[in-house]
Structures are given as structure tokens and as C-alpha cells.
């Protein structure tokens, strides 16, 4: 159970409801009195009612499927679904080389990155994607790594973001080590989010943006981080971003169905 009986936010909401009920009952007792023969039964029934209300609130908190927030005037919707079905600008995290080789070594085919390439650019058209990436990265600073055997040689600053066809944004979101494993420090994760919003501010032209739970697939950020932590960090970074005046823009954070048991949207709504 994501939201436990001892959840502080749940009890805060429940006590607020009790306050409202208390006011109503006090008002009612001004005009009506309960016969002494029925007071005990009425009291028991009232306690049962309060227990039922708490159980209903607990059930709803655990079954929450979406959350809508307002972050400095920026609309943020969080829900479960398929990122690829969105009609908005869709953000796909790449590594710092913007690799496109889906071979289960450089890029695993079951990752968001791999699925994007497989679904949109079969083997015979992946060169089209490479051409777009090369053109959009033209003029951006990079460092060359000629020792790299697989994949591309030029790596870009984390957070570097470009737009390609079909409303996709590609962002450099992870380092890659010599064994082609993605990694990122906690500090770099926050810096990457900050750079990402700056890049999106340059590109998006007030279009709505759909993003995944960034960082959730990188096991080398920190073993102590939970999926809930990633979601909260994304929202916190939005609070500090330069998108705060984009009143006509909406950010969709689309979560995969598989993370339902690890994400507490009730606490998100209570905190933000």
C-alpha cells in the first residue's frame, strides 16, 4: 500500500474533513436534540461513519491515477500512459553521444531510447535520424573520443536538446563509460534537468511537452534514490526553471504502468 494508515498528509486531510463535520453537527444540534435512549446508538453510528470516511479517503489516495499541479503558473499533469501516443512534443533521453545503434550493447532495444529508434527508424532509415541529429547539433560544443569502438565519437554537454521530426525532442541525459553503461551522479542529474529546461525554453515555442520519468532507468545515479524521488526532483527543478512564465504551456509527466506501486501521487498533490 503506497499510502499507509499513518500517512501525515492523509491525516491532515481527514482532520480537515472532521472539522467540517464538527461544524455541521454543532449547527444541527442547535435545532435538534437526541433522545437519551438513542444517544449511545447515535454515537456508535457516528463513529462508524467517521471510520468509513477514513477508509474511503485511504482507498482513494491509493487509487489515484493522475495529479494536476500549478507550478509558478505552469500547468503540470502527471498520469500513467504511453509517451509515444502523445501528440505533444515528446522528450526522449539519449546518451551524451546521441548514439542510435540499437544492438543491446550501446542501446538496449527495450529502453525508451531503443523503442523510439526501432518504432520510428527501422534499420534502413536510421541514417535519416543520424542526419537530423548531425544537422541539429551543428555549432554546439562537443568533445571527441576517438578511442571509442562502438557508437559515435563526439559527446555533448548533458542537457543538450534538439528537435527532430514527428514532434520529438532528444536530450543528452547520461554519460557512457568504456563498457557502454549509462551513469550519472546526483549532482549531474540536477544540473542536467536545469540545462534541459533552458534548452526546451529555446525550442518549444509554447507547445505542450510530454516527458517520461527522467533518470528512472539509470541504476548508477544512486541506489538510495526511489522512483518517487526522481518525480519530486523533476517537479522541484520545474519550480526553479525559466519556464515559470509560460502560462499557455503544459508539461505532461507520463509514467509507465509498471511503476504504479512505487509512485505516490497523493503525496505529490499534497506537497506541491
Domain identity same for 47 and 77: no
Extract the runs of DSSP E, i.e. beta strands, from 23-153.
66-71, 74-80, 89-95, 142-144
Q: What own/partner pairs with CB < 8 Å and gap ≥ 24 does 127-132 have?
A: 129/100, 129/164, 130/100, 132/164, 132/165
Domain identity same for 40 and 145: no
**Structure confidence at residue 241 (pLDDT):** 86
CB 91 within 8 A of CB 197: no
- Which stretches of the chain drop beneath a pLDDT of 70? 1, 29-39, 219-220, 222-224, 244-247
**Structure confidence at residue 176 (pLDDT):** 85
Domain identity same for 58 and 80: no
**Structure confidence at residue 32 (pLDDT):** 67
- C-alpha cell belonging to residue 204: 518549444
**Structure confidence at residue 219 (pLDDT):** 57
Of the residues 62, 88, 103, which one is the last residue of a structural domain? 62
Domain identity same for 70 and 56: no
Answer whether residue 247 is part of any domain: yes
Answer whether residue 3 is part of any domain: no
Domain identity same for 144 and 197: yes
**Structure confidence at residue 222 (pLDDT):** 63
pTM for this entry: 0.87
CATH number at residue 177: 3.40.220.10
User: Residue 269 CA to chain centroid, in angstroms?
Assistant: 13
User: Which range of residues forms the domain containing residue 57?
Assistant: 8-62
Query: How does pLDDT run across 10-65, given as a tens digit for each residue?
Result: 889 988 888 888 778 777 766 666 666 666 777 788 889 889 999 999 999 998 99
**Structure confidence at residue 138 (pLDDT):** 93
Answer whether residue 259 is part of any domain: yes
Q: What string of DSSP letters covers 49-74? A: HHHHHHHHHHHHHHT--EEEEEETTE
Rounded CA-CA distance 272/258 in Å is 24
Radius of gyration over every alpha carbon of the chain, rounded to an integer in angstroms = 25
Domain identity same for 58 and 137: no
Domain identity same for 148 and 224: yes
Q: How many domains does the chain have?
A: 2
Of the residues 46, 62, 78, which one is the last residue of a structural domain? 62
Amino acid at each position: 500500500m503506497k499510502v499507509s494508515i499513518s500517512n501525515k498528509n492523509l491525516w491532515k486531510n481527514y482532520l480537515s474533513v472532521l472539522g467540517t463535520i464538527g461544524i455541521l453537527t454543532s449547527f444541527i444540534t442547535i435545532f435538534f436534540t437526541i433522545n437519551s435512549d438513542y444517544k449511545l446508538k447515535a454515537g456508535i453510528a457516528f463513529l462508524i461513519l467517521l471510520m468509513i470516511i477514513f477508509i474511503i479517503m485511504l482507498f482513494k489516495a491509493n487509487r489515484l491515477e493522475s495529479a494536476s499541479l500549478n507550478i509558478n503558473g505552469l500547468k503540470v499533469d502527471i498520469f500513467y500512459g504511453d509517451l509515444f501516443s502523445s501528440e505533444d512534443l515528446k522528450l526522449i533521453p539519449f546518451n551524451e553521444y546521441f548514439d542510435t545503434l540499437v544492438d543491446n550493447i550501446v542501446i538496449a532495444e527495450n529502453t525508451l531510447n531503443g523503442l523510439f529508434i526501432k518504432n520510428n527508424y527501422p534499420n534502413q532509415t536510421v541514417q535519416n535520424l543520424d542526419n537530423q541529429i548531425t544537422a541539429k547539433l551543428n555549432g554546439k560544443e562537443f568533445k571527441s573520443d576517438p578511442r571509442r569502438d562502438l557508437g559515435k565519437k563526439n559527446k555533448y554537454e548533458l542537457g543538450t536538446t534538439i528537435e527532430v521530426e514527428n514532434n520529438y525532442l532528444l536530450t543528452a541525459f547520461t554519460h557512457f563509460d568504456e563498457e557502454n553503461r549509462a551513469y550519472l551522479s546526483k549532482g549531474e542529474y540536477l544540473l542536467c534537468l536545469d540545462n534541459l529546461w533552458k534548452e526546451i525554453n529555446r525550442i518549444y515555442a509554447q507547445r505542450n511537452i510530454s516527458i517520461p520519468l527522467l533518470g528512472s532507468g539509470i541504476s548508477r545515479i544512486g541506489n538510495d534514490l526511489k522512483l518517487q524521488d526522481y518525480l519530486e526532483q523533476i517537479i522541484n527543478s520545474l519550480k526553479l526553471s525559466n519556464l515559470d512564465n509560460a502560462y499557455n504551456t503544459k508539461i505532461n509527466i507520463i509514467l509507465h504502468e509498471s511503476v504504479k506501486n512505487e509512485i505516490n501521487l497523493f503525496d505529490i498533490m499534497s506537497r506541491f
